[in-house]
Amino acid sequence: MSKYASLIQEVQRRLAEAPTTDETTLATLVREVSGGVISNVDVVNVLRTLRHESTGVGPLEQVLAIEGVSDVLVHGCHGVWFDRGRGLEKSQVRFSEDAEVRRLATRLLVAAGRRLDDAQCFGDARLPRADGSALRVHAVLSPPAETGTCLSLRVLRQAATSLEALEAHGTFLPGVADCLRQLIQARKSMLIIGGTGSGKTTLLGALLAQVDPRERIIGIEDTAELRPDHPHFVSLVSKTHNTEGRGEVRMEQLLRQALRMRPDRIVLGEIRGAEVVDLLAALNTGHDGCAGTVHANTVEEVPARLEALGALGGLDQHALHSQLSAAAPVVLAMKRTAEGRSLHQIGILQGNPVEVAVLWDARQETPCQVDWSTL
């Protein structure tokens, strides 16, 4: 890219004035701008660079084409890694300079209506794909990323996920799916926990697909990830403020709107901070079967984790335990290992102060048999 940077910039300027996608026309334009002093190999390389800088996710498209890829991670010009459920693997794709990664990251976020520059050096975006999936994009420029611009892509395929598909992929042991279906039918509130990339949102989407089609589900998220196969799922997504400091829409505002939209169930996704107050409010609105996702490793850690998050939202320990006790949510713990993502614990939060009761643990290799009507 650096060898023909000025050439490519001039070609891009002319394409802005007279757009074309015809390869022959583009090749002619490249030769014209170069003055004719360019080899056929370099023409092909310039055309490839133009294509990468204007469509899709550029050179990362070949990584996304690998079957089962869920994450693609770019570490500046130091390498590209991907995850397809076996841990991180290094790709053959490389960027020759950090400026290439920066241009790609900027283009992706700008395409989603977000800003990425020296004044706003990190950001998130969601980009739909032609195959019906979507990409959650996160970028951090250099600086503050000292070793180069970092770009993270998460492939979102929740729309096609079902309990049957998860069982076939070994997410849970045989028989657990029936236990989860009964959980949905019993309209118990749920917290799905796990680390980053453990499959929390994927499991939640599959569970929501089991909800009676006559029920209306309102989903509230920071980034639209949930796409359950359900006819009455409505997605509300929060907004950050614009460059003028206006237009922000917070999750608590969306929760207030959701209550006026005749919901049967309310779902909050990706609780990372003070929005845990909104999650607890949703669990105690009188709508049975509400749900949310929280970062925690085991069901035993959940009370302490929620206490820490509640403190960020100004909720003291007594108030938090009172709300949790009233909701008595079932906790589903997802775990990510080298063998893949799996459901490894089911528990419930009960009492005041709240205590955890483990109802099922995959390590015991016993059937998941829970009478939800008694809990």
Q: Is the pLDDT of residue 97 over 70?
A: yes
Tokens of 338: 């080298």
Tokens of 312: 């960020």
Which helix or strand (DSSP H or E) is residue 268 part of?
Answer: strand 265-271
Sole residue written with tokens 């000292």:
146
Note the pLDDT tens digit of each residue in 318-335. 999 999 999 899 999 999
Alpha carbons within 13 A on the beta-carbon side of 65 = 8
Cα 91 to Cα 345: distance, rounded to the nearest angstrom: 33
Note the pLDDT tens digit of each residue in 141-194. 988 888 899 999 988 765 457 888 888 888 888 889 999 999 999 999 999 999
Helices (H), the chain: 5-17, 23-34, 40-52, 61-64, 98-111, 163-168, 176-185, 200-208, 251-259, 276-283, 302-312, 317-327
**Nearest CA among 321, 326, 316 for reference residue 355:** 321
Domain 158-374 fold is Rossmann fold (3.40.50)
pTM of the model: 0.74
Confidence of residue 303 (pLDDT cuts 50, 70, 90): very high
Cα 307 to Cα 198: distance, rounded to the nearest angstrom: 22
Interval 228-233 mean pLDDT: 91
Confidence of residue 263 (pLDDT cuts 50, 70, 90): very high
Q: Taking the domains of the chain in order of start, what are their residue ranges? A: 1-55, 58-156, 158-374
For domain 58-156, the CATH architecture is 2-Layer Sandwich (3.30)
| Cβ 116 vs Cβ 102: under 8 Å | no
**Nearest CA among 107, 228, 105 for reference residue 160:** 228
Long-range contacts: 359-363, Cβ < 8 Å, 24+?
359/330, 360/176, 360/179, 362/172, 362/173
Interval 250-256 mean pLDDT: 87
Beta bridge partners of residue 125, listed in sequence order:
137
Answer with the residue of higher pLDDT: 47 or 209. Answer: 209
Q: Is the dihedral of CA 180, 185, 188, 189 positive or negative?
A: positive
